[in-house]
A and B are shown apart, each in its own frame.
Chain A
Amino acid sequence: MTTIVTDNCKDCRFTDCVTVCPVACFHYDDEMLYIDPDVCIDCSACIPECPVQAIYEGDDIPEDKEIWVAINAEKAPNLPVCEEQMEPLPGAEERKTALGF
């Protein structure tokens, strides 16, 4: 099982997920969040929190999002931990609407 953040987070970075993460496994760069698979306990608390449904777990990962498993694993450990909710990125609301949410 792996839980991952995918491209819907890009340019949104709402970080609602971070408030319910029991183990602080989210990391961030200027664009989006990533989950450190070595820290995540696959509790799935974050999944319903994401306003743009960017987070998937294990069996639910669509085929076209599978590349994000490797991206999360590579990026997360080298980026700062996101421990608290941050302001969404500028334009996040517009992007959310464009994504159909």
Chain B
Amino acid sequence: MPTLGTEQNPLLVAIVGSGPSGFYAAEALLKSGLTVKVDMLERLPTPFGLVRSGVAPDHQKLKQAIKLYEKIAHSPDFNLIANVTVGVDISVAQLCASHHAVIFACGAESDRKLGIPGEDLKGSYTATEFVGWYNGHPDYRDCVFDLSHAVAVIIGQGNVAADVGRILAKTVDALKHTDIAQHALDALAESKIKEIHIIGRRGPTQAKFTPKELREFGELPDCHSIVLPEDMILNPESEKELAEKNNIASKKIYDLFCAFSKCDIDHAKSRKCFFNFLMSPKELIGHERLEKIILEKNILSGASFQQSASATGETVELETGLLFRSIGYRGVPLTGVPFADNQGLIPNDKGRVLDSNANIVLQMYAAGWIKRGPSGIIGTNRACSVETVECLLHDLTRLDDGNKKAGADAVLSILNDKKHRYINYDEWQKIDAKEIERGKIKGKPREKYTSIRDMLSVID
């Protein structure tokens, strides 16, 4: 058998997931200098993962990362096999039989729970549901959020919490020329929300927003951002954190909060967004649905950069009918692939998947959020996927078991036998063109199809 990665014996890699980490893994493989065929499997008929359905509609520039993914997808050695759920329509074992290696880049689709009483009351939701809903993700299109309350609460102080807060804080006029789903725009037009509380368990120097996301809260046309001046008084450990020269992002965040705390309230603006610190949700209370939240005040302890929040016992109540939790994400286990339940990801060493005894599972690799957890921004996944592909290429001799692999042909034959309707990249481009055309009439960059049936109707 000729060496793996040559024209006579191309390296066949299946990538599960078509978000940033999947595409950066594909890019690294296709640029490796070896002869490689990449088959990318995607659960939905539409590619690009969280760039399509996670990045907020008012952040269109960030979505231009897709331009690079389109270039990668046009490589003759790249195949998109979309509308295929790995573990349902095709098994992991089948992929391992048809390909030399499988890279799992399927993200973290589930939320961390608060673990408090009342969490499942009507009115208490995950940020994932809300983000998926306004971005037109087919899984969340039928969600209904009651926006008739005056007060909304968001638990968590990362960029997803910021996105949720900002979409609630913006007027429909500020959103109508984005690619926000029409159903979300219609519902937000009726929103009665006047007050948004974004709550963090630690202090202003530990908030996880990027400065860019937080800065937008100072520039909202109809919402005033508020921080209490007393919340800006720091303990000595937090002061030390701010003084650290490499901690420039926290310094910028702190300065932005300071500016919010010093700003006079602009009564011409109809909405207010409060950033609350050192508080954790203790209980959600309501009869049929959420009526109020009990928050417990926290105190920080521990050395700088390792400070943790602990409850003081002092509580405050906040009346609210709408709560979103955004305290982190978890991967979803995939049959036939090891899973670390406590961390919510695939256990791995630099991307090489490990079994429960920490032994390397040959052929299996992980990249992106399912590899390292839900941290970083789009570009973070590039370095992450490059590391995984470096490991894979290093393992080349072990990946060749001497048997000829059928690659995409085997996958498509399994799907055809099941009469499963998969979608290739050309077909996605038809859906893409139609969405852009639908958007044009409304002055939007695109109007997404939000049901799989509608997506398929464009091409069938």
Contacts and interface: CB of A to CB of B under 8 A. Distances in A.
Contacts of B289: none
Contacts of B245: 100-101
Given A21-B382, A60-B211, A45 B252 contact: no
A57 interface: yes
Interface in A20-34: 20-24
Interface stretch (A36-44, A62-70, A88-96): A36-44
B26 interface: no
Nearest to A57: B212
Contacts of A48: 248-249
Nearest to B249: A48
Contacts of A1: 61
A45 B377 contact: yes
Given A44-B210, A48-B248, A48-B249, A20 B382 contact: yes
Interface string A7-19: 0000000000001
Contacts of A43: 62, 65, 377-379
B315 interface: no
A22 B210 contact: no
Contacts of A23: 64-65, 67-68
Given A19-B382, A23-B64, A44 B377 contact: yes
Contact of B212 (A20, A44, A46): A44
A47 B380 CA distance: 12
Contacts of B189: none
Interface string B330-356: 000000000000000000000000000
Contacts of B246: 101
Interface in B247-285: 248-249, 252
A83 B378 CA distance: 16
Contact of A45 (B67, B248, B380): B380
Question: Most B CB atoms within 10 A — which of A22, A23, A58?
Answer: A22
Nearest to A84: B386
A60 B252 contact: yes
B303 interface: no
Contact of A22 (B31, B65, B215, B248): B65
A59 B215 contact: yes
Contacts of B211: 44, 60
Contact of A41 (B31, B61, B210): B61
Interface string B369-384: 0000000111111110
A13 B23 CA distance: 27
Interface in B357-394: 376-383, 386
Question: Most B CB atoms within 10 A — which of A42, A43, A100?
Answer: A43
Given A19-B382, A22-B382, A24-B68, A42 B248 contact: no
B212 A22 contact: no
A97 B382 CA distance: 29
B20 interface: yes
B377 A19 contact: no
Given A42-B212, A60-B211, A22 B20 contact: yes
A101 B248 CA distance: 12
A20 B379 contact: yes
Interface in B204-246: 210-212, 215, 245-246
Contacts of B61: 1, 41-42
B266 to A, nearest CB: 19
B414 to A, nearest CB: 33
A58 B67 CA distance: 22
A58 B219 CA distance: 14
Interface in B151-190: none
Nearest to B215: A59
A59 B211 CA distance: 10
B65 A41 contact: yes
Given A43-B377, A44-B210, A20 B248 contact: no
Contacts of A24: 68
A45 B377 CA distance: 7
Nearest to A16: B383
A79 to B, nearest CB: 19
Contacts of B215: 59
Given A19-B383, A22-B20, A23-B67, A45 B378 contact: yes
Contacts of B68: 22-24
A59 B252 CA distance: 11
Contacts of B249: 47-48
Contacts of A57: 212
Interface of A: 1, 19-24, 41-48, 53, 57-60, 83, 100-101
Given A41-B62, A43-B379, A57-B212, 19 more contacts: A1-B61, A19-B382, A22-B68, A22-B378, A22-B381, A23-B64, A23-B65, A23-B68, A41-B64, A42-B62, A42-B212, A43-B65, A43-B378, A44-B211, A44-B212, A44-B377, A46-B379, A48-B249, A60-B252
9 contacts: A20-B380, A21-B379, A22-B379, A23-B64, A23-B67, A42-B61, A45-B378, A48-B248, A48-B249
* Pairs of residues from A and B, 5 with the lowest C-beta to C-beta distance, nearest first: A45-B379, A20-B379, A22-B379, A19-B383, A22-B378
